[in-house]
Amino acid sequence: MSVIEDRAAITDLVSRLGACLDDHRFDDLKELFADDVTAATPGGLARGRDAVIAQATRNHGEYHRIQHLITNVVVDLDGDRAAVRANLLGTFVDSAARVVLEMGGIYRFTARRDGDWRLASIAVDRIWRTES
């Protein structure tokens, strides 16, 4: 793969993560994560693909609708590894279409190529949060 193709594949992983969370397609996260993925988010710390998916399900499943806006994805490649930074705006909505939680932060990922690119770690640095 070229550098451009690698950057596009990794950016796509980040976008797919947001789409899976928004659509409550938690089983689809298996395709995005390395087996030994770790996640350090406001919702807790998890290690391993199944634990990270369980944490995502627990932290997002209660909301009727969610919208993750992930922007300014910066990919720093180093061979078969990459460090990734992106801005995050998350909006969480109840069944009456009321916003009940909004948060802004910075996503920090590592990605690893083992055949395909997969997310090896996820961290969220929350900058702000408002609840209704």
pLDDT over 90 at 85, yes or no: yes
Average pLDDT over residues 5-14: 98
pLDDT for position 1 = 78
| Chain segment 22-33, per-residue pLDDT in tens | 999 999 999 999
Greatest Cα-to-Cα distance within the chain, rounded to the nearest angstrom: 47
Radius of gyration of the chain (CA): 14
Q: Which CATH number is 3-131 given?
A: 3.10.450.50
| Of the listed ranges 1-5, 20-24, 47-51, 53-57, the one predicted with least confidence | 1-5
Under a CB-based contact definition with an 8 Å cutoff, are residues 60 and 124 in contact? no
- The whole-angstrom separation of Cα 96 and Cα 33 is 33
Under a CB-based contact definition with an 8 Å cutoff, are residues 102 and 90 in contact? yes
Average pLDDT over residues 73-99: 97
Mean pLDDT, the chain, as a whole number? Answer: 97
